């Protein structure tokens, strides 16, 4: 269920390009009516049967499956924008907005060839790469990924986020070429229901255990630490799994793990959204949801590595900021009353809990 893209906003594109200093990091988008079979530069030549090609197929199949499941639950089609770039790459953004169940749900696929400033390279690697002095300060890279944020209307239904990506850099200033996978799926409820948390975390524990029995505990802890809003001393939600810079096994096995994670998004989340979509709620509960969405905005704009990377490399702004909710709220020094469901949620946000 899709409505096709409209032409891009030229002024928005010009404004986006102004954010990139020096050499252009990523070429301008060229909007197209239909997505090509592949967004790679040479899908029938040197890119054929590569990790790049196999991962692109995984994320595009995943986008189809997840959008179909969400559209079926909501009864509203996704709007689609598709673009390519002259030197290769492009993207497919799908957004469902003001639906029956979802206030805003977006699922993006992107394939990017470009160069990034050394500081963006540091951000993309979590600061783990030593940047040499002097030489060319722009790092050639390839990236492919799928990302999504789903904001339901009902405050009893949680927001969900996932992102799975593959990244390569070329040899640069004496630093060898690098490759890695990253990603994760996490849940951000306004109201914490233990059975929902157990279902969500249990789904991803089963996926992790299939590939490596150490994964779930390690990636659950990583998720709790990554989604910490440091200036608040609380997490964005109740976590899930998160991993990045993963290249300690052969690429095919890590890609298989990423694929299984992606293709369990529907199982982990849609039953929860379906269960709560018609729950009764009050204006006060809606107010609480908007306060928690304010925290979501704070994390994404201040700490999120993907957002930082996209802004530093001049990516498509509408796709980068697709994750933000339509509505959010900030109140001065708000604290829920003890013994309330809101206070129970804050307890989970201030001290990570074990759900399975």
DSSP code string of 61-99: HHHHHHHHHHHHHHT-PEEEEEEE-TTS-EEEEEEEES-
pLDDT value of position 309: 80
pLDDT value of position 9: 47
Strand partners, 113: 142
Sign of the torsion formed by the C-alpha atoms of 294, 292, 146 and 215: positive
Choice among 8-12, 23-27, 131-135, 241-245 with the minimum mean pLDDT:
8-12
Q: What is the percent of the chain with per-residue pLDDT over 70, rounded to a whole number? A: 88
The residue to which tokens 């609480």 are assigned: 288
pTM over 0.85: yes
Question: Rounded CA gap, 171 and 181, in Å?
Answer: 18
Reply yes or no on whether 161 is catalytic.
yes
pLDDT value of position 176: 77
pLDDT value of position 106: 97
pLDDT value of position 236: 97
User: Does the pLDDT value for residue 128 go beyond 80?
Assistant: no
Q: What DSSP letter does each residue of 135-193 carry, written as one string?
A: S--EEEEEEEEEEEEEEESSTTSPEEEEEEEEEEE--BTTBPPEEEEEEEEEEE-SS--
pLDDT value of position 114: 85
Question: Rounded CA gap, 74 and 101, in Å?
Answer: 5
pLDDT value of position 314: 78
> Is 119:61 a contact under the CB 8 Å cutoff?
no
Average pLDDT over residues 293-298: 97
pLDDT value of position 17: 38
pLDDT classification of 132: cutoffs 50, 70, 90: low
Average pLDDT over residues 130-145: 76
User: Does the pLDDT value for residue 135 go beyond 60?
Assistant: no
Mean pLDDT of the chain: 90
**Residue 102's Cα: distance from chain center in Å?**
17
pLDDT value of position 13: 42
SS (H, E, C) 200-242: HHHHHHHHHHHHCCCHHHHHHHHHHHHCEECCCCEECCCEEEE
Choice among 45-49, 62-66, 305-309, 331-335 with the minimum mean pLDDT:
305-309
Taking only the tens place, the pLDDT of each residue in 236-283 is 999 999 999 999 999 999 999 999 999 999 999 999 999 999 999 999
pLDDT value of position 237: 98
Which helix (H) or strand (E) segment holds residue 107: the answer is: strand 102-117
Q: Which of 79, 151, 161, 201 is catalytic?
A: 161
User: Does the pLDDT value for residue 331 go beyond 80?
Assistant: yes
Taking only the tens place, the pLDDT of each residue in 160-176 is 999 999 999 887 777 77
Question: Rounded CA gap, 308 and 23, in Å?
Answer: 18
Taking only the tens place, the pLDDT of each residue in 18-41 is 333 434 567 788 999 999 999 999
Average pLDDT over residues 204-217: 98
pLDDT value of position 127: 58
pLDDT value of position 131: 62
User: Does the pLDDT value for residue 10 go beyond 60?
Assistant: no
User: Does the pLDDT value for residue 152 go beyond 90?
Assistant: yes
pLDDT value of position 20: 39
pLDDT value of position 177: 81
Query: Which residue would you say has higher pLDDT here, 189 or 15?
Result: 189
User: Does the pLDDT value for residue 3 go beyond 80?
Assistant: no
User: Does the pLDDT value for residue 336 go beyond 90?
Assistant: yes
Question: Rounded CA gap, 208 and 324, in Å?
Answer: 29
Task: Name the DSSP letter for residue 26.
Answer: S
């Amino acid at each position: 269920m899709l409505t096709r893209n409209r032409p891009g906003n030229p002024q928005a594109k010009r404004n986006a390009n102004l954010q990139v200093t020096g050499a252009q990091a990523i070429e301008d988008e060229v909007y197209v009516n239909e997505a090509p079979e592949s967004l790679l530069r040479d899908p029938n030549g040197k890119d054929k049967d590569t990790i790049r090609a196999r991962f692109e197929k995984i994320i595009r199949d995943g986008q189809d499956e997840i959008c179909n499941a969400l559209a079926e639950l909501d009864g509203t089609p996704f709007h689609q924008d598709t673009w390519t770039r002259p030197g290769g790459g492009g993207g497919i953004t799908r957004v469902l907005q003001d639906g029956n169940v979802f206030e805003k749900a977006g699922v993006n696929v992107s394939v990017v060839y470009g160069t990034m400033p050394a500081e963006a390279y540091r951000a993309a690697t979590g600061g783990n790469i030593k940047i040499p002095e002097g030489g060319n300060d722009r790092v050639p890279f390839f990236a492919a990924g799928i990302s999504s944020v789903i904001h339901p209307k009902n405050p009893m239904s949680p927001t969900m986020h996932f992102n799975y990506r593959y990244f390569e850099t070329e040899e640069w200033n004496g630093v060898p070429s690098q490759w890695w996978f990253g990603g994760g799926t996490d849940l951000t409820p306004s109201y914490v229901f233990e059975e929902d948390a157990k279902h969500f975390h249990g789904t991803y524990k089963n996926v992790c255990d299939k590939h490596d029995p150490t994964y779930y505990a390690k990636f659950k802890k990583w998720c709790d630490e990554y989604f910490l809003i440091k200036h608040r001393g609380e997490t964005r939600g109740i976590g899930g799994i998160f991993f990045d810079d993963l290249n300690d096994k052969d690429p095919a096995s890590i890609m298989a793990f990423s694929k299984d994670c992606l293709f369990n998004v529907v199982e982990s989340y849609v039953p929860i959204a379906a269960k709560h979509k018609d729950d009764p709620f009050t204006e006060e509960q809606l107010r609480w949801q908007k306060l928690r969405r304010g925290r979501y905005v704070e994390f994404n704009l201040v700490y999120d590595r993907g957002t930082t990377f996209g802004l530093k490399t001049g990516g498509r702004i509408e796709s980068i900021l697709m994750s933000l909710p339509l509505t959010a709220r900030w109140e001065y020094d708000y604290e829920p009353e003890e013994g309330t469901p809101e206070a129970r949620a804050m307890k989970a946000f201030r001290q990570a809990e074990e759900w399975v």
